[in-house]
Structure 1
Amino acid sequence: MVNMGYAVVGAIFMVGMVLFAFIKGGPRERVGAGYLLAAWFASLLVQENNGFRGLPIGMFLIDAMSLVVFAALAWRAPQSWPVWVAGLQLITVMAHIMILTTKTIPIASLYTVMNLIGYLIIICIGVGTFWAWQERKAAAEYAPR
């Protein structure tokens, strides 16, 4: 029952940041937030499958595809948040690879790291949205009339 409270708070935080990105963000923020929301729903569908060596293969594929999407967003991005998000997502993919290669690390600790990195990714998108919003606001304020 206590675990359900954390899930609800996390879901509200995720949906709130995604709405903020859709309302105030630029194209990169909207794509990043939209993909993050789609990946979140997809991971809810595949998280119960134990897959190969205790690694849910569906989760690994979703996280690997997320790395590709965030790296594409970071390519020649004028802001720095997509680079941070791609780097954090790389840590998540490496945690999946650690599960495949070694059994001495508790799986629960790796899943905790992956969940915390998910929150950091949401925060990075939120900060990127805020700065994109402020830059557009400043550009409109100082534009010639």
Structure 2
Amino acid sequence: MLHSPLAIFGAAFLIFASLMAFIFGTWRERAGAALYLAAYVVANGLNWLSHMQDLSHTITDILCLIGFVILCWKSPHPWPLWAAGFQLASTMTGICGLLNITVSKWAYMTLLILSAYGVLLALLAGTFAAARRKRRQHIGGSE
């Protein structure tokens, strides 16, 4: 699970982005953080328990993608759409791996890692925008 410094950094970044969303975000950012944290825990738990790691990762990716698409529905903010797009890239990468489409392991892992960071950066951008909106409403409402 956390066998390398890069994996530890990724888990720390996931925790940081999720904490920021829970503290400063609205319900939409909190839901996105909870969704992504749950997918991370479930995928790593299934990887540890199962010999079918690629399948379990792809299933959690698909469920996470569905969750981000639901968050996109009638959202006035762009971050869920960006998160869903990055999650779609991760999901399609997993599906290509299951279909044995010839992709080098390096390219496969690079796209999975970049798409995960893309989702987290979209979540952070949405969180900071929500915090800024809250601050503006609070300042504007107190005058």
What amino acid sits opposite 2:31 in the alignment? Answer: V
| Residue in structure 2 matched with residue 40 of structure 1 by the alignment | 40
**Structure 1 regions of 5+ residues with no counterpart?**
none
Residue pair 2:21, 2:124 contacting (<8 A) in 1 also: yes
**Kindly, what percent of the aligned residue pairs are identical?**
29
| Residue in structure 1 matched with residue 11 of structure 2 by the alignment | 11
Task: Map 1:1-145; keep pairs closer than 5 Å.
Answer: 4-47=4-47, 49-51=50-52, 56-143=54-141
**Structure 2 regions of 5+ residues with no counterpart?**
none
- Deviates further, 124-133 or 99-108: 99-108
Q: Report how far residue 13 of structure 1 moved.
A: 1.2
Q: Report how far residue 101 of structure 1 moved.
A: 3.0
Residue pair 1:50, 1:57 contacting (<8 A) in 2 also: no
In 1: Cα distance, 2:59 partner to 2:22 partner: 26
CA gap of 1:124–1:92, structure 2 versus 1, over 3 A, is same
Q: In structure 2, the residue corresponding to 1:56 is in which secondary structure?
A: helix
Instruction: Give the TM-score normalised by structure 2.
Output: 0.89
Residue pair 2:29, 2:127 contacting (<8 A) in 1 also: yes
CA gap of 1:24–1:46, structure 2 versus 1, over 3 A, is same
Deviations 1:96-142 (A, max 9, x none): 22123344212342132112110111111011000001011101111
In 2: Cα distance, 1:132 partner to 1:138 partner: 10
What amino acid sits opposite 1:8 in the alignment? Answer: I
Residue pair 1:99, 1:107 contacting (<8 A) in 2 also: no
Matched length: 140
In 2: Cα distance, 1:11 partner to 1:97 partner: 23
In 2: Cα distance, 1:103 partner to 1:95 partner: 10
